[in-house]
Structure 1
Amino acid sequence: MKSKTTTSYVISITLIATLGGLLFGYDTAVISGAEQSVQLYLIDSLGLGSWVHGLTVSSALIGCIIGGLISGLFSNNIGRKNSLIIAASLFFVSALGSAYPEFLFFNVGEPSVSLLIMFNLYRIIGGIGVGMASAISPTYIGEIAPQEVRGKLVSWYQFAIIFGQLVVYFVNWGIVNGQSSEWVNDIGWRYMFASETIPALLFFILLFYVPETPRYLASQNNEDKALSILEKINGSKDRAKLVLSDIRTSLNAKDTTGKLFSYGKTVIVVGILLSVFQQFVGINVALYYAPRIFESMGAGANASMLQTVVMGIVNVIFTVIAIQTVDKWGRKPLLIVGSIGMAIGMFGVSILAQNEIIGIWTLVFIIFYTASYMMSWGPICWVLLSEIFPNKIRGQAMAIAVAGQWAANFLISSTYPPMMEFSGSMTYGFYGLMSVLSIIFVWKMIPETKGKSLEQLEDIWKKDSTEEKVFNL
């Protein structure tokens, strides 16, 4: 049994690590309130089209891909904690630069292609921070958390993402509420981006009070410190010694080299496909373009922001459901149930769009879709990514999986405006089809990881280090 002090310690460092998720959600969703103003200021005024608009809304994702790719290099060489400190710094710089892209080089009120490039550059810097945090924060939590509550604690990372999005929806709504559209398009959108500096600074400061993960410390031959942290986490020196022994055995295994494919290709393919399916089901379209979607249903600007807040609250509620059930029901059942719900939601929106029916049922299907996602693929994908990769290759494998996730995110988000111009029904139907395919993927290829230590999970892949393996668990 863990003492209250030990439990408080684990929870406190987990909550600090999840601020990386909050900033992830904040940074990726802040554009939902500002994108129409940015479009007017930097795109329409220059006579640029929907492809440039889509790329601008999604430009941070370019940085996310870069951040995901370099996350393994940073986390393996300077540690999980120091890498998160760098990510927090990038969040802060991006928030200020996106709010005032004219700084030093341009004049306010004089849009140009160069200013548009500078705005996107600041968004990319923030994206690098998001990409790094999205790989390293769940890795940090997964390596810190005791195995019996690992699913729940890593799921808090997704909760933080959704909470960050909900916070920014409230912030954006508060900024535009009662203001004229002219003020919002002139100044309000800048306040939206600048507001991110507050959580970024908080994250940066609090990271100095958390420890490095014991698995990283053990990989650097700092076993005394690793043991000390494990004792605080597990509440027992004997338990800590057993965990450290398993970690040592894993790191010293002679049958694996530590190269990316030393445990076989399947674990890498599964990680990448987890990431790709999480995005190809279309969730970030609903998040990035939520106000515009609701406006297309006949809501005014303020009403569309309010409906987005309602959707955010629903997302938080269903993410909590996942947190409470992930270590009881397991990962696979939640993913399959969520995929079924997402398919129903997207096919429903598709049918309504085909028949040109826009109204309350569109809102119902969108909320049903996002609720299904938030109780399944939202948190569970991060849980699985933090669990399935063996200790020796976790940093580099996580980097590739997360980079793949952000590449898929960029592809889906940037193609949404032109796809909608072609056919709204086919667009939402495509996301529904991806939800159906995700069911097959989970059923055939995902192992159940509930209740197993990270070191025990390595045995799954060791048995298949020389050939592809399809799971039927």
Structure 2
Amino acid sequence: MAKGNIYAWYVCMVVATTMILYGYDSSTFNAVQGSDHWNEYFHQPGPSVIGSINTAYTVGGILAGVLFSAPISDNFGRRWAIIVGCVIVIISTFISTFTPRNIGGFIAGRALVGIGQGIALPAGPTYISEIAPAESRGKIMSFWQMNFSVGSFLAYWINYACTKNSGSLGDWDWKTVQMFQLLAPVIIIITVSFCPESPRWFIAHDRLEDAVRALSLVRDDAERVQNEISDIKRALQFEKENISSGYSALWKDKSVRKRLYLCILLNIGQQLTGQGSLNNYSTKIYQAVFTSNSTIQLINALNGTLGIIFTLNATWTVDRFGRRFLFLVGAVGMAICMLTAAAVVTETPGSLSDGKSRSVGIATAFLMFLFAFFFKPSWGATVWIWTGEIFSMNVRNQAIAISSQAQNAANAVLQQVFPVFLASEGFYAMYMFGAINVALFAYVWFFIAETKNVGIEEMDAIFGGANHVQSAELAKGKTELIEVAAVEANTKDGSKGTA
């Protein structure tokens, strides 16, 4: 691999670690809510309060993602959006860990975590899509979702170790898990500070020399650097002269509006697969078939470990077989797993209140692992890949912010409703997720376009819009023809005057 490509991979991997924030935090609360010390510390919160804690986190993410992420990213750079978000996560960690025995303080800390992540996360896919070479963009973006699994892996294994030593740790069996949340944002702030800014951001701010310097670091071929710089300049010039930017531009162009609707539904679908509920409530779900909290936390830890391996499947499939292939196969596999798990638990002897047999518990855990096998490389990694690559520069930050926060909006509803639904209906809830995955298969089949190996600046044409590079070239050609015609007309007029 050439030196420039190696550095492109490096900086993209650094930025992709931002997703560890999301993976660790979403798994942290799932882990700590099983702690007896946490429940005693906050006076045994019920299902509705548990739902409110998760809702505060997601609502914070939605508001920050829509209102603050894009303005910071557009005005100060993609790196600064990530850094600001990480600083807020650090502050929130101290609040949620050291709050007095008042659930309100813990909820406030969770909301602040959501705000920090809402600012940082949309900037990551934007940066990677603008730095990564087109031929390996999908492969690189797959590591974005893998780092969610890395975050889950860390949270679950740290929690498992704390659970095994719960007696000696006391309240620190959950506070230790919380405090380890500081590790990722500190590392991200340090490493991202030394990465180059996006060349597209530099050109958008009339810093051409900085753009050439930044792109030269991640490309080996000088001619390719000049060609990409030229394409970016023409595309941005076309967008500046012919279309607006910002949130208002999302609704003016029919092609952009279509992409936004498709992307919002795709991101909502990611949460409706059942993964969002599994990630936040697997402890509660497994309590229906396992009695030992230590066993449940071990299963969560193993699931987090396998999640990393499963996500890696996207790195060799997404650019080979395409985005649609992964979406379709993933939806079928997840539907089968959910429907089978529901049948195994609800149709076998024994009640959930009295506990199911060990074989039912093992079968359920296996099906949840198999669900992750299908989800991680498809609706986990590929949703982020597709979201990060289909929008043009003038609306990319805003569109990614809205689309990614659609995940949080869907998650907020599920987090508020699912714990109550699970408490009353048990594993019958899994039938609902199975049916949703069947519907998602149909949605992708009829509406989602393939974007494999399509250049970022050429993506508009796939969705019925104008190719910004070609349109800029045509506009330039027309301008040159008009100028030539004007010169010829002036020459003729001068000749007539002389005669």
Equivalent of residue 61 in structure 2, options 40, 60, 64: 64
Aligned to 2:288: 296
Q: Distance in 2 between matches of 1:409 and 1:136?
A: 20
Q: Distance in 1 between matches of 2:287 and 2:420?
A: 18
Equivalent of residue 104 in structure 2, options 117, 139, 142: 117
Equivalent of residue 284 in structure 1, options 272, 276, 280: 276
Equivalent of residue 224 in structure 1, options 209, 212, 215: 209
Aligned to 1:18: 16
Q: Distance in 2 between matches of 1:143 and 1:39?
A: 45
Percent identical residues: 26
**Aligned residue identity for 2:109:** Y
Q: What secondary structure, in the 3-state scheme, does the structure 2 residue paired with 1:224 have?
A: helix
Matched-pair contact (CA < 8 Å) for 2:392–2:456: yes
Whether 1:364 aligns to 2:366 is: yes
Q: Which string of whole-angstrom CA distances, capped at 9 and with x for unpartnered residues, describes residues 104-143 of structure 1? A: xxxxxxx3xxx21111111111111222222111111111
Counterparts of residues 71-470 of structure 1 (less than 5 Å): 71-102=69-100, 111=101, 115-180=102-167, 183-184=169-170, 186-253=171-238, 254-258=241-245, 259-264=249-254, 265-356=257-348, 358-463=360-465
Q: Distance in 2 between matches of 1:349 and 1:456?
A: 43
**Aligned residue identity for 2:133:** P
Aligned to 2:486: none
Distance 1:187 1:463, change over 3 A: closer
Q: Using structure 1 for the length normalisation, give the TM-score.
A: 0.90
Aligned to 1:468: none
Q: Distance in 1 between matches of 2:20 and 2:465?
A: 37
**Aligned residue identity for 2:65:** G
When the two structures are aligned, how many residues end up with a matched partner? Answer: 447
**Aligned residue identity for 1:17:** V
Which protein is bigger by CA-based radius of gyration? 2
Q: What secondary structure, in the 3-state scheme, does the structure 2 residue paired with 1:260 have?
A: helix
Distance 1:196 1:49, change over 3 A: closer
**Aligned residue identity for 2:438:** V
Q: What secondary structure, in the 3-state scheme, does the structure 2 residue paired with 1:252 have?
A: helix
Shift of 1:320: 0.4
Matched-pair contact (CA < 8 Å) for 1:350–1:425: yes
Q: Which runs of 4+ in 1 moved over 6 A?
A: none
Q: Distance in 2 between matches of 1:347 and 1:134?
A: 32
* Root-mean-square deviation (Å): 1.8
Q: Distance in 2 between matches of 1:82 and 1:320?
A: 28
Distance 1:18 1:243, change over 3 A: same
Matched-pair contact (CA < 8 Å) for 1:99–1:193: yes
Q: What secondary structure, in the 3-state scheme, does the structure 2 residue paired with 1:212 have?
A: coil
Q: What secondary structure, in the 3-state scheme, does the structure 1 residue paired with 2:287 have?
A: helix
Shift of 1:276: 0.4
Q: Distance in 2 between matches of 1:301 and 1:373?
A: 25
Q: Distance in 2 between matches of 1:388 and 1:366?
A: 31
Matched-pair contact (CA < 8 Å) for 1:24–1:133: no
Distance 1:96 1:356, change over 3 A: farther
Matched-pair contact (CA < 8 Å) for 2:54–2:110: no
Q: Distance in 2 between matches of 1:262 and 1:220?
A: 23
Shift of 1:159: 0.6
**Aligned residue identity for 1:201:** V
Aligned to 1:41: 41
59-68 or 351-360, larger mean C-alpha shift: 351-360
Distance 1:354 1:116, change over 3 A: same
Q: Distance in 1 between matches of 2:270 and 2:466?
A: 25
Q: Distance in 2 between matches of 1:428 and 1:39?
A: 27
**Aligned residue identity for 2:446:** K
407-416 or 35-44, larger mean C-alpha shift: 35-44
Q: What secondary structure, in the 3-state scheme, does the structure 1 residue paired with 2:250 have?
A: coil
Q: What secondary structure, in the 3-state scheme, does the structure 2 residue paired with 1:297 have?
A: coil
Q: Using structure 2 for the length normalisation, give the TM-score.
A: 0.86
Q: Distance in 1 between matches of 2:294 and 2:423?
A: 25
Shift of 1:88: 1.0
Shift of 1:341: 0.6
Unpaired stretches in structure 1, ≥5 consecutive residues: 103-110, 466-473
Shift of 1:8: 2.5
